[in-house]
A and B are shown apart, each in its own frame.
Chain A
Amino acid sequence: MTQTEEATMAQTEEKVIPDFGDDTDRKLCIICSKGTLDMAYPGLVLANAALMEGIEVNMFFTFWGLDMLNKKTMAHLKATPVGNTAMHMPQALSPLPGMTAMATHMMKKEIDKLDFPPVDEFLQQIVDAGGHLWACKMSADMMDLEEDDMFEEVEDIIGATDFMNMSDGAQIIFI
């Protein structure tokens, strides 16, 4: 082997190519159980981030989380300072008329500033990225909701046992 050949080989061996983890079989299930604006976003952001990392994502919406899928409510989720000390206002003021509207307005503005989409658009982005949306049967029955009442991309209304099968081997996040 000549010196040049050796040098070429050494260089080829050294070449660092990013590992994009194409063969990952990581699975993530996110349970969304809240219907407030501030609690809707963590699930959406995490689902989207996981998809961008090539992770399989199933989102299961239960109890108040169904408000995120309900066509009537999904665009009108609210953030409230009531009982939320993290909003750092005197708790006695928080139930006053207009406070929830104000907190919601402010949060929506901040979300928009960060270029995060509104809930419906975010869900669409997650579906376009290959994520799956499922509604909880018991909650849907309780709230008298059918598939037609929900965001079109919801794949099905399923029971908790179906969810157990689906989440086999997955990491689960409950929000």
Chain B
Amino acid sequence: MSTQTIAGQEVDVNEEGFMTDPSQWNKEIAAQLAEQINLGALTDEHWKVIDFLRADFEEEGETATLRRVSKRSGVPTKDLYRLFPKKPAKKMAYCAGLPKPHGCI
């Protein structure tokens, strides 16, 4: 585990670069994380997903699977793949400062 400066703030990250302490996260950090993985500027659609992930993590204590996100957040699977191309589940968790989801769906 090491630290990185993201959006002017020191945060803990694991060996892959995922944040390990969700409480260190804020919206500026999310914006820079998104930039770092070439998602560009985050839109309202992105925020809807990220806000859902954060709220759900707070309640459940684990990162929502892609299926849970599409079922509960109201953002359809197709859009999740458009907003976070190729590896949506991992990319959205990364931007939300959460661990990768463990579920396989």
Tell me, yes or no, whether B68 is within 8 Å of chain A by CB.
yes
Interface SS majority for chain B: mixed
Tell me, yes or no, whether A52 is within 8 Å of chain B by CB.
yes
Q: How far is the CA of A125 from the CA of B104 in the complex (A)?
A: 14
Contacts of A51 in B (CB 8 A): 81
A22 touches B16 (CB 8 A): no
Identify which of A15, A22, A48, A114 contacts B4 (C-beta below 8 A): A15
Contacts of B94 in A (CB 8 A): 18
B87 touches A20 (CB 8 A): yes
Contacts of A11 in B (CB 8 A): 4-5
A18 touches B65 (CB 8 A): no
Band of interface residues on A: 20 to 34
Given A54-B87, A128-B78: A16 and B15 within 8 A (CB)?
A: yes
Interface SS majority for chain A: loop
Identify which of A18, A114, A125 contacts B16 (C-beta below 8 A): A18
Q: How far is the CA of A48 from the CA of B70 in the complex (A)?
A: 14
Contacts of A49 in B (CB 8 A): 104-105
Tell me, yes or no, whether B17 is within 8 Å of chain A by CB.
yes
Given A20-B86, A128-B81: A45 and B105 within 8 A (CB)?
A: yes
A52 to chain B, nearest CB (A): 5
B75 to chain A, nearest CB (A): 11
Q: How far is the CA of A18 from the CA of B90 in the complex (A)?
A: 10
A24 — nearest CB in chain B belongs to which residue?
A: B86
Contacts of B2 in A (CB 8 A): 14, 16
The 5 closest A-B pairs by CB, nearest first: A54-B86, A16-B17, A128-B77, A128-B78, A18-B17
Report A's interface with B, CB cutoff 8 A. 11, 14-18, 20-22, 24, 45, 48-49, 51-54, 114-117, 125, 128-130
